[in-house]
Amino acid sequence: MRLSFGRKNPAGQGAREGLCIVIVSGSCCIPGMGPFDEQARRVVEQAVSETGTAAQVTVLPVTKAFFGAVSKKVMGELMAMFNQGGKIGLPAVLVNGEVVSYGVPTLEDMKAVLSSYAQNNKEELQK
């Protein structure tokens, strides 16, 4: 298991070392979101540990995500949420560029996601 919180790593890289998990943090703009970001980081870290998944985890400020580190589609979804109800789904958790959680994920949901990706990777390797 490889964890690298806070290291600079674009959302699309890291597949060679396992899954690339990005937590898009809102605390850069809204300091009150810090506890939610920390909670999401702990859930992801625990899920990675308990499933034995090889993963590189990066916490990315939403300002960097907005300027190209995360796909335009994901940023569009976040902005649409904000425009529809004033809420924004942060922290957002992405696995290999796909959103798996808007908001803090539960441990069970995160473990299920990681197990699913591991199973899919295993099937692809057998082909």
In a domain, 89, yes or no: yes
Number of domains, the chain: 1
pLDDT of residue 3: 42
In a domain, 9, yes or no: no
Spatial contact of 70 and 11, defined as CB atoms under 8 Å apart? yes
For residue 118, pLDDT beyond 60: yes
Q: What is the pTM of this model?
A: 0.76
pLDDT digits (tens, 9 = 90+) for 30-86: 899 999 999 999 999 999 999 999 999 999 998 888 787 787 888 788 778 777 876
CATH of the domain at 89: 3.40.30.30
Spatial contact of 104 and 40, defined as CB atoms under 8 Å apart? yes
Which domain, by its residues, includes 20?
Answer: 15-126
pLDDT band at 10; cut points 50, 70, 90 = very low
pLDDT of residue 9: 40
